Amino acid sequence: MTKRYTVGSMFAGIGGICYAFKNAGFEIIWANEIDKYACKTYRLNFGDSYLVEGDIQKIDANTIPKFDILTAGFPCQTFSSVGLLQGFDDPRGNLFFETARVIRAVNPRIVFLENVANLLKHDDGRTFRVIKKTLEDLGYHVTYQIMNAKQYGDIPQQRNRIYIVAFKHEIDMVQFEFPGMIPLTKTAFDLFLKERQPDKYYMDGHRMWNRMMEYMDDRRRVYRFTDWGLSRGMEGICPTLLAAMGSRFERIPFFYDDYSVRLMTPRECARLQGFPESYILPAENEKQVYKQIGNSVCVPVVERIARNIANILD
């Protein structure tokens, strides 16, 4: 990048989007997150010079600095096919309009949004039409694409997400292209730790153990419990990592290692979101770490989009 373009991040979480844009050459100058546990992880990796901890609804938009790009992974649980599908009827769903409020105040050149793929068809498409029209009414040209981590990030996780990029200048949108598919070069098992893990991760004696042994007939697959019972992923592919991993340990995917059946560790989950080994995960409050990772993004997919944005800005 010939110029160092600046980024502000809403609903920053543990910084997955920020990390991707930083890797692509952008400078993060402002971020906001309400969850105190996510803020701790964010500060461990980015420092504390610009993160604003607190409710975005209580932040005066006039206090937010100007930046070139606004990124926002606004809460997706209300639109998720595994959630309650309440959309704008849920207060979290209405946080998209907080994004619009900040856009109106900051007037960034580009807006980058990430959400669950189900957003596109939620409420027969009405929810997405509202989002798109809101951006257009703010003067933006909108393009979007659904991308799966296993197809676009070389990450062996089944993770479909919609990525929306809105441009203030039509010429920017005309020049922009979403990155194409790339071959998957590894399996989830390539990312799992080989040595024996602490006993707390092993599921021996689980109340569903006998049922698990009947169902888990393929050691090349990753399994998990859902509301409908036991579920298996595709061969070598991890099922979608969810924030619910932090609420019930059974929501954490599990598999056969060389010792028994065990849950994925937080570090393995981070690897399956594309975070590097150097990314710091808090040692305490492991439930919160699982939740944070499930709430985050597939970093390599976002980074590829960010690099394409950088190309058109130059």
Known catalytic residues are 76
Mind giving me the DSSP string for 17-45? HHHHHHHTT-EEEEEEE--HHHHHHHHHH
CA dihedral 94, 96, 101, 103 (to 10 degrees): 180
Token duo for residue 110: 């580009």
Among 127, 75, 125, 137, residue whose Cα is nearest residue 100 = 137
Nearest-angstrom CA–CA distance, 104 and 51: 21
Short-list 142, 166, 171, CA closest to 312? 171
With contact defined as beta carbons under 8 Å apart, do 269 and 191 qualify? no
Question: What is the SS3 assignment for 165?
Answer: strand
User: Is residue 303 helix, strand or coil?
Assistant: helix
Element (H, E) at 294: helix 286-295
Q: Which residue, 27, 50, 29, is CA-closest to 306?
A: 27
Residue of 170, 197, 313 whose CA lies nearest to 266: 197
Sign of CA dihedral 106, 112, 118, 123: positive
Order across the sheet with 261-263: list the strands. 229-232, 223-226, 254-256, 261-263
Q: Is 306 exposed, middle or buried (0-12, 13-18, 19+ CB in 10 A)?
A: buried
